[in-house]
Each structure stands twice: as structure tokens, then as C-alpha cells.
Amino acid sequence: MNICIIGAGNMGGAIALGAAKRFPNYKINVTNRSGKNTERFTQFPNISCYVNNKRATKGADVIILAVKPWVIKDVINEISDVITADQALVSVAGGISLSELEGMLPWTCPLFRVIPNIAASVGESMTFISERNAGKKVMSDIVGIFSALGKVSVIEERLLPAATALCSCGIAYAFRYIRASVEGAIELGISPCDALDYITQTLVGAAAVINHDKIHPEEAIDRVTTPGGITIKGLNAMEANGFTNAVIAGLKASK
């Protein structure tokens, strides 16, 4: 398979590196107009770097638009005379609907909206995919590409705003929890470096328990709380200060 990724920024670069590692037989073209910051790709013989979008898209089975939303239309206009209806077009730009993408093209082709998060850079993204005009084969190909970056869920487009709030924005909320925990740990006498190490591993462990045992979070909480114990006192103090309501309000504000 040949993949063209237009845009070699954080997300485009993560997609290219993830796909190159998972699929060494894929040919991957990456474009970067400035020609800079391409050193990270040199260790992968199946990645080629371009400054010209048209040259990079020729012969690609899948074209991934990893550019800012306000650049999408200009990029499509630029490459429209060299791409064909047989090529799948993927947008990772937030806020551009499938209908809008379709309206920018002179023909019908397989279209995808893909919403990853920045954990794609370490292969741990929660990525959402919505499609239009896609058959089983091309859908399987797109899911396979993004599975190299973490976990993938194919959902209806109407659910993308909620999924974005939950995971793309939500990862920032997880970072904020980590920061708050570090600040609390410092008050308790633990050094910042040690606290960061302890807290991140605790979150990794919490996620692993839920994923492994397939249990509701409340059941997991019950395993570590005892009547009159310090854990329930801490949980109740957090709730008294609006923990759950703050999380829900943040998600709703992000939608």
C-alpha cells in the first residue's frame, strides 16, 4: 500500500512513524513545505519526504490530510487535478464535516474523518473514525493504519464531537489531574520528580485494571475502600469540592 501524508507536524509525523513501524512494506510519502524537521524519518527506508504535495500524492492509495482545518480547502484545490476517485481521502482536521469534504471534491470517493489524540506519538492514541462512501476493504485499510497508533473505534459522525471532548480534549484533563496530584504530593512532602513517577504509574495501573478485568470503575473503587478508611475520606473530600461535576462540566464545555 502507498500512503501519502500531507503535513509533517505532530500528528502527521506520528501517523507516518507509527505506520512505518507497523507496516515496513508500505510506501509512505510525507510532505513538509518547509523541508525542515524531517530527520526523524530518515531511519525508515519506506518513508520519503517531499515539499511538493502534488508529487507526493501521485500513486497513493490513501491520502491523509494532517493540516490545520483552515488549510484543508486550499490543499484539496492544489491536488485535485492529480488525485482520482479511486484514492481514499482522510482528514484529521477537527471541525471539517464529511459533507464539507465531499463538497470540496469534483467526484465521489471514500472519505474519512479521523480524530486521534497526541498519545499517537507513543502508540497509545484513542482514535475515532467516521466514513462516507467506504467499502469494507478500504475501511479495513484505514482502521489498520490508525491501529498502529493505538486503539481505534469506528463511530457515527454525529458522535465525533462527544468523542473528541472525551478523548482528544480529555487527555489534557488527564494531564491536569496529574499536575494537580503532583502539587498535592509536594504539600505532602514528596519531591516533584518522584511524585510524577508515582502518579503516572498509578494511572497506568488503574487503566490496566479496568481493561483487564472489564469492570465498572465503581467496582474497582470498592476494592480499595474500606469503612472508615482513608481512601473513602479522600474520595468524599474530592466530591465535596466538585470533582465529578467539574469533570462533566469540562466535557460538556468541550463538545
The confidence score (pLDDT) of residue 214 equals 96
- 111 beta partners: 89, 132
Please report the pLDDT score of residue 35 as a whole number: 67
d(CA 192, CA 130): 41
Q: What is the mean pLDDT of residues 194-217?
A: 97
Residue 28 CA to residue 255 CA, distance in Å, equals 33
**pLDDT higher than threshold 90 for residue 76:** yes
Residue-level pLDDT at 58: 87
Rounded percentage of the chain residues whose pLDDT exceeds 70: 99
pLDDT digits (tens, 9 = 90+) for 244-254: 999 999 999 99
Model confidence at 8, pLDDT cuts 50, 70, 90, reads confident
pLDDT band at residue 94, thresholds of 50, 70 and 90?
confident
Distance CA 192, CA 182 (A): 6
Average pLDDT in the 100-125 region?
91
Distance CA 61, CA 12 (A): 17
Rounded distance between C-alpha atoms, residue 125 and residue 151, angstroms = 6
Answer whether 29's CB lies under 8 Å from 50's CB.
yes
Tell me the three state secondary structure of residue 132.
strand
Q: For the ranges 17-26, 207-216, 237-246, which has the lowest average pLDDT?
A: 17-26
Task: Copy the grid coordinates of residue 126.
Answer: 484513542
Average pLDDT value for the chain = 93
Q: What is the pLDDT of residues 10-53, one digit of tens each?
A: 889 999 998 998 899 999 999 987 767 778 898 999 999 999 99
Average pLDDT over residues 105-127: 91
Is the separation of the CB atoms in 92 and 11 below 8 Å?
A: yes
- Residue 67 carries which DSSP code? S
Name the β-bridge partners of 131. 112
- Cell numbers given for 9: 507536524
pLDDT of residue 34: 73
Rounded (10°) CA dihedral 108, 96, 59, 80: 70
- pLDDT top residue among 7 and 38: 7
- The DSSP code for 10 is H
Domains delineated in the chain: 2-156 (3.40.50.720), 168-254 (1.10.3730.10)
pTM > 0.85: yes
For residue 193, pLDDT over 70 is answered with: yes
